[in-house]
Amino acid sequence: MGGAFLAAAVLARLGGRIGLPTIPLFILAGILLGPHTPGVVLVSDPHDLEMLSALGLVLLLFYLGLEFHLDDLRAGGRKMALAGGTYLALNVGAGLGFGFALGWGTSEALVLAGVLGISSSAIVTKVLVDTGRLGNAETKPILGIIVVEDIFLALYLAALQPVLSGADSLAAAVLDGGKAFGFLLLLALAARFGTRVVSRLFATRDDELLVISFLGAAVFVAGVSEWFGVADAIGAFMVGLMLGSTASGERIRTLVHPLRDAFGAIFFFAFGLSIDPGDLPVVLWPVLAAVAVTLLMNVLAGLGAARVYGFGPGPAANISTTLLARGEFALILATMAAGAGLDERLSPFIAGYVLLLAVLGPLAAGRSQWLTRVLPGGRDYAVAAPEPKTLTPPGR
């Protein structure tokens, strides 16, 4: 574990000198020091870091919930649903069509629909933090789309599991989906009506007690969420949403920063450990085609979300590039596909696709002004407003 932290830090410091984002460098550290690459093997079994990696994802999404103010969710629910639904329709639909076009099978196409359709919440959160855009106006639709994706994710996994396992019946799938949706509804009601009670429970002047309390709550609810068939990340997000509106919200944001950064780095390092570079050449052309499809769909979705919120080409470019990366959910699907005995090309395809977009996503987000110039009205926008309007971050 110590070696993983140090390796990630060294590569990130070297990359920072030439302007590279940290996410792909953390992943690269995992690839170079993992069991699939010749040379020094720091971690021979990626499962050794599984719990720490899960904690990193939970803390990244918990922090995202802290920044997503409950008033924004209540006031912009309709726009959020429209922007998120548009994003999913374009990307999941394109992923399903791409899967059928490959001819690998119906189950494989259903898996690829999720792989190509869902952004990486962890990478999106890290990109927003690294680029300093948490206070930007277009961050609201970005976070809204992530929330809609996570809700869709819970229902999608519940429906996909019986298909891949060849299980039981439609009734069982509906029951699993209902259980997941019911738990999500319960969390939403707690966030909406339980803020005053939660604020009293977490009220303390002692930073140590506050850290233990919010960390325990985030991890516990994430674990219970998984038991109900909801992604652990969305459970942590909802806890952050509740705590961000309390009197302790600002202190929690400050205290969670070092935990988020440290375990977030381990999450991306562990992601790199799971990638075998030797498998990638077999699926190179399908991976490149899938990346091209995703780029196009994200640009269209970004333009659609910007239109819903009344933004110009600059924020549209930021939305498109920030949501580009794919990550943890795709890897979950790869594991499910391998366990179900699906086409053996599926796992290396997902690894190559996710790795390429995990690198391109943060790089593109940091240079979104290039996309702005080629969008309709982009050149005029760049002259009139070189930087998108910035708002005060919620709770700040």
The pLDDT, as a whole number, for residue 74 is: 62
Let me know: does 198 contact 243? Beta carbons within 8 Å. Answer: yes
The per-residue pLDDT for range 321-335, each reduced to its tens digit, is 999 988 777 877 877
Count CB neighbours of 338 within 10 A.
13
CA distance 278 to 46: 17
The pLDDT, as a whole number, for residue 386 is: 46
End-to-end CA distance of the chain: 34
The residue-averaged pLDDT of 359-383 equals 80
Tell me which of 103-117, 176-190, 349-363 is least confident.
Answer: 176-190
Check pLDDT > 50 for residue 173. yes
The residue-averaged pLDDT of 289-306 equals 95
Task: Please indicate whether residue 257 or residue 155 has the higher confidence score (pLDDT).
Answer: 257
The residue-averaged pLDDT of 14-42 equals 81
Tell me the β-bridge partners of 390. 136
Check pLDDT > 60 for residue 384. no
Count CB neighbours of 226 within 10 A.
15
Contact residues for 316 (Cβ-Cβ < 8 A; gap 6+): 138, 302, 303, 305, 306, 372, 375
The residue-averaged pLDDT of 120-124 equals 82
Check pLDDT > 90 for residue 96. yes
pLDDT band at 165 (very low <50, low <70, confident <90, very high): low
If you count them, how many residues does the chain have? 396
The per-residue pLDDT for range 222-262, each reduced to its tens digit, is 999 888 877 777 788 889 888 988 889 899 999 998 998 88
Check pLDDT > 60 for residue 155. yes
Average pLDDT, the chain: 83
Check pLDDT > 90 for residue 91. yes
- Residue that the structure tokens 């516990």 belong to: 220
The per-residue pLDDT for range 41-54, each reduced to its tens digit, is 888 888 888 888 88
Count CB neighbours of 386 within 10 A.
10
The pLDDT, as a whole number, for residue 385 is: 55
Task: Please indicate whether residue 340 or residue 114 has the higher confidence score (pLDDT).
Answer: 114
The residue-averaged pLDDT of 351-369 equals 87
Count CB neighbours of 181 within 10 A.
17
Percent of the chain having pLDDT more than 70? 87
The pLDDT, as a whole number, for residue 98 is: 96
Let me know: does 305 contact 62? Beta carbons within 8 Å. Answer: no
pLDDT band at 396 (very low <50, low <70, confident <90, very high): very low
Provide the token pair at 17.
């000198």
Let me know: does 370 contact 117? Beta carbons within 8 Å. Answer: no
The pLDDT, as a whole number, for residue 72 is: 60
The per-residue pLDDT for range 182-223, each reduced to its tens digit, is 887 888 788 778 888 888 889 888 999 999 999 999 999 999
The pLDDT, as a whole number, for residue 390 is: 40
What's the one-letter identity of residue 311? F
The pLDDT, as a whole number, for residue 392 is: 40
